[in-house]
Structure 1
Amino acid sequence: GGHGYPDNRPPQQQGGGYGYPGPSAQPPYTSSAQHNNPGHTQAFAIGEDPYGHDAPPAPAAPSGPRLRWQDLLSGIVLRPHQTFQRMRDYPVWGPALVVTFVYGLLAIFGFDEARDDVIHATLGTAVPYVLTAAVMITVSAFVLGVVTHTLARQLGGDGSWQPTVGLSMLIMTLTDAPRLIIAMFAGGDASFVQVVGWITWIAAGLLFTSMVSRSHDLAWPRALGASAIQLAALLSLIKLGTF
């Protein structure tokens, strides 16, 4: 098979004679860089994207491990942007339900008439009264969180419902805690309590907007619009409930 060629030639140059490649030679034009050269165009199936643009994007990985409940609660107040970005893929049902229920147990004492009714009622009447209020506030916060998530998805968001609802419940209760603590001692009708209520309501709007924006990858106007119903309910039912 050599026809005068030396036996120590490289394998790819050994042929069948007269300059033609033999069976062991490399097939021509197999390099991927040669597929689209003139005369050597690569074939594709009908509907196939030759450039890979139709390939689904890889899901974004979480920005970090799940935060502990202490870090979560403090992060919402002190580091909201980083906290919402990190927790956008993690459900927070435990802290959300516990904090909201405890808030509901105390919320009734932030209204003057309701507080007087509970204080002057018998123990058998006051306990079911307080527990019922706590359950109703917890359910209301959950429903409002679902509404916020639904609006965010309607506006083009892509976040999960469990983190959105849980974080919205935490924002709703944590931002109202300063007003509630003052109202328990100064009364819900006090002017200072009303001012604190307005300030904390604005803070809640900022936190809702940041949370929805990072959880659903929305611009802040749409994120604020998704939170509008929950903010309106928070203002009318809790913040200014004595108005």
Structure 2
Amino acid sequence: MPSTQSAIVRWVEVSTPSAYHESLMIYLGHCRHVRVAEFLGEGDVSMIPRFTSVRMHTDKIPKPMRRCTTEAWIIKLTKSTVTFEGLVFLEPETDGEPRTLLSSSITTIVTVSTQPMRAVPIPTGLGIVVEKQPSKWAVESFAIPAMPTVVPADSFEYRFHVRDSDADRFGHVTNAKYVIFFSDALMAGARAGRFAHRSGDVKWFEIMFEKEVKPLQEVVVVCWFEERQEAYIFLLKGEDGIVDSKGRMFVGDVDRRKAQL
């Protein structure tokens, strides 16, 4: 079994910053999913994302049909979770040029039993091991202060219905759509004069998945700007008022440090 999963893609959707962020989630998720499929195969045990963090390393957004490479490997294990690190590179158009690191990410997935849905230990005999040490970007991600959850009195609320097209063929809202939900809330707040930033200012975002939302369900995103962290905080609540997911978007200049793993 390879220690690093790699996939080559042709970039398609880059029309808006939020679409760019969604595309990063899709490509990183696809590369990671291949590894999970290798581990589990068929059965009533599955692995679902619990947390993901995606960081932009350049403002160089790829043009449509540019060749990109995604890579993923395991950097941490617990009794029931696996943490992957992933990278997205923009491949050069001319031989001899270096490739550009577009994004780095860490994602923690939890092993669950589907009958009933509950966290379970990772099955033995799957050969899941730590494959590499975390990069400096992953270490920095682990060191970020916890996401605030105390809602201020002046928070902004954005209500909408989850579209049927937000779900996959199994009726599950795809993980990449959550960054769109939070980006839409940020843009709605900006248009209402409540926020000073837009989705194009986001340099780093995190999503914590708590509970699945359903297609056609009305949801509300409660959001505010946390000045001490220079980040927007998002709480997505379903019709029952329970928090289904949390998000955080850091704003500011893109980190242009060179990619030297």
TM-score, normalised via structure 2 length: 0.23
TM-score, normalised via structure 1 length: 0.24
Of Structure 1 and Structure 2, the greater strand share is in 2
Of Structure 1 and Structure 2, the greater helix share is in 1
Q: Larger radius of gyration, structure 1 or 2?
A: 1
